């Protein structure tokens, strides 16, 4: 009978330079499970983020010495009427396909929230499933007056965790770094966009 290793046996720790290749392999595998080209695209994006000044923090999940999960946090901004506010963006979140369904993603999300709070960000944003991330501390960005960076990001998919008391003036459009646009990784495109909008009840 096969056994499943519980998440309690997985170590969540900061990623180091020696983890770079393993991180990119996990990102590529996770996002490329159904589309290898998409996996390579996200891995290339993250390699560029790590090589510049956009990286805020990253965490890895390690099981018996092997990196099996990863989460990254990079700079993004809120274009508020009063000022441009430096915030954090959780992306990508990756778990190796063979280790999914064990709570590793949940543990990485929690670690990312703690890391974003630790580097002094006022809020942590992401694009993702309202059901998945809503159960892990996130809430709709629109609830606090935040707007997606593109019309191709369905409004319910823009999620946020506030990491402190939000000033009344802190609202506006979320702005992604150029690297996300260069890799065409902001929002979705049809037919995927239409399918997600249908699932979210957006007509």
Query: What DSSP letter does each residue of 155-184 carry, written as one string?
Result: GGGEEEEE-SPPPTT--EEEE--HHHHHTT
- Tokens (6 digits) for 125: 């944003």
> Would you state the torsion angle of the CA atoms of residues 111, 24, 42, 192, taken in this order, to the nearest 10 degrees?
-80
| Mean pLDDT confidence for 156-164 | 97
- The residue-averaged pLDDT of 51-68 equals 96
Domain annotation for the chain: domains and CATH numbers? 9-199 (3.40.630.30)
Q: What is the pLDDT of residue 1?
A: 35
Distance of CA 172 to CAs 131, 148, 168, 201, Å? Answer: 23, 9, 11, 24
- 91-145 pLDDT, tens digit each: 999 999 999 999 999 999 999 999 999 999 999 999 999 999 999 999 999 999 9
Give the dihedral of Cα atoms 54, 181, 183, 17; nearest 10 deg. 0
Question: What pLDDT sits at residue 202?
Answer: 87
**pLDDT tens profile 36-54:** 999 999 999 999 999 989 9
Q: What is the mean pLDDT of the chain?
A: 94
**Quick one: pLDDT at residue 6?**
60
């Amino acid at each position: 009978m096969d056994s499943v290793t519980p998440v309690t046996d997985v170590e969540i720790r900061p990623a180091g330079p020696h983890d770079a290749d393993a991180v990119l392999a996990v990102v590529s595998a996770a996002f490329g499970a159904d589309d290898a080209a998409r996996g390579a695209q996200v891995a290339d994006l993250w390699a560029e983020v790590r090589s510049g000044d956009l990286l805020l923090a990253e965490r890895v999940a390690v099981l018996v010495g092997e990196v099996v999960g990863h989460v990254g946090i990079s700079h993004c901004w809120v274009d508020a009427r009063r000022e441009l506010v430096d915030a954090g963006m959780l992306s990508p979140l990756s778990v190796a396909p063979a280790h999914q369904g064990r709570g590793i993603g949940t543990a990485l999300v929690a670690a990312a929230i703690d890391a974003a709070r630790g580097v002094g960000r006022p809020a942590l944003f992401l694009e993702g499933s309202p059901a998945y991330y809503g159960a892990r501390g996130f809430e709709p960005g629109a609830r606090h007056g935040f707007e997606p960076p593109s019309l191709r990001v369905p409004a319910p998919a823009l999620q946020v965790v506030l990491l402190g008391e939000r000033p009344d003036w802190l609202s506006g459009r979320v702005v992604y770094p150029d690297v996300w646009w260069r890799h065409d990784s902001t929002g979705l495109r049809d037919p995927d966009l239409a399918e997600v909008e249908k699932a979210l009840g957006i007509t």
